[in-house]
Amino acid sequence: DSGVTQTPKHLITATGQRVTLRCSPRSGDLSVYWYQQSLDQGLQFLIQYYNGEERAKGNILERFSAQQFPDLHSELNLSSLELGDSALYFCASSVGFGQFTPQHFGDGTRLSIL
Amino acid sequence: AQSVTQPDIHITVSEGASLELRCNYSYGATPYLFWYVQSPGQGLQLLLKYFSGDTLVQGIKGFEAEFKRSQSSFNLRKPSVHWSDAAEYFCAVGGGSNYKLTFGKGTLLTVNP
């Protein structure tokens, strides 16, 4: 158990819809990262937050957004969903900023678009 | 830009045999290197990491990896594979100011009895 909690584990929805994925980081971790894992693209970094502030952006679509709340949990919002958004979405957390510390991953949310 | 290449998509070994999974990276400065393992339906578990110092690093579950700067490699090894090691293995590189990880495409390990 990594200590990173992601909900829900599975999500099935239709094209055009909007969903919210939730992540609770490990106790004491201030950084949260979101990754997308798909068969064709592999594991891709989406976005990073540190203590409520966005710190880095990767290959995140404009239809996607994220935020980190004062209690440090994070949400990834995906809107106008397309078939190609079907993937496993991982959240990871790490201790801090200013030094490189290992990222610990949750079990992921599997998103299926019908 | 940083990148990771895992040349082997799928490797099959017999239980008890030794294992080496290859990883080559591209990064402009001193890299931070990681190996993660993903079992079916599970998240990624950190096996080991290299930040600096001794180039041979030990990890969990009996795995080790060796950092070779001259070859830009960080290969994962295990002297004797167990059936429970069957999973997908990902090499990752990180660094810089944003701390994001760049992953390889993964190597799927099958263990024959």
Residue of A nearest to B34 (CA): A102
Q: Which of A10-14, A18-22, B26-30 has the lowest mean pLDDT?
A: B26-30
* pLDDT of res. A97: 64
B28 has pLDDT over 80 = no
B22 touches chain A (CB under 8 A): no
CB-based contacts of A71, cutoff 8 Å, min separation 6? none
Cross-chain Cβ contact B45/A2 below 8 Å? yes
Higher pLDDT pick, B31 / B10:
B10
B1 has pLDDT over 70 = yes
B34 touches chain A (CB under 8 A): yes
Q: How far from the centroid of its chain's Cα atoms is residue A103's Cα? A: 13
Round to the nearest angstrom and report the end-to-end CA distance of chain A: 31
Is B28 within 8 Å of B96 (Cβ atoms)? no
**DSSP string for residues in B2-46:** -EEE---SEEEEETTS-EEE--EEE-SSPPEEEEEEE-TT--EEE
Cross-chain Cβ contact A100/B51 below 8 Å? yes
Instruction: Please compute, for residue B3, the number of CA atoms within 13 A of its CA located in the half-sphere on the CB side.
Output: 5
A98 has pLDDT over 60 = no
What is chain A's mean pLDDT, rounded?
93
Residue of B nearest to A110 (CA): B41
pLDDT tens digits, A49-72: 999 999 889 889 999 999 999 999
pLDDT tens digits, A17-45: 999 999 999 999 999 999 999 988 899 99
pLDDT tens digits, B42-98: 889 999 999 888 899 999 999 999 999 999 999 999 999 999 999 999 999 987 666
- As a whole number, mean pLDDT of residues A87-101 equals 83
Cross-chain Cβ contact B101/A103 below 8 Å? yes
Find tokens 């290969």 and name the residue.
Answer: B75
Other C-beta atoms within 10 Å of B39: how many?
A: 13
A93 to chain B nearest CA, in Å? Answer: 11
**DSSP string for residues in A40-86:** TTEEEEEEEEETTEEEEE-S--TTEEEEE-TTS-EEEEE-S--GGG-
Cross-chain Cβ contact B51/A104 below 8 Å? no
Find tokens 């060796």 and name the residue.
Answer: B66
Percent of chain A with pLDDT over 70: 97
Residue of B nearest to A98 (CA): B97
- As a whole number, mean pLDDT of residues B11-19 equals 97
Q: What is the dihedral of CA A13, A33, B84, B8, to 10 degrees?
A: 90
pLDDT confidence tier of residue A1, bands split at 50, 70 and 90: confident
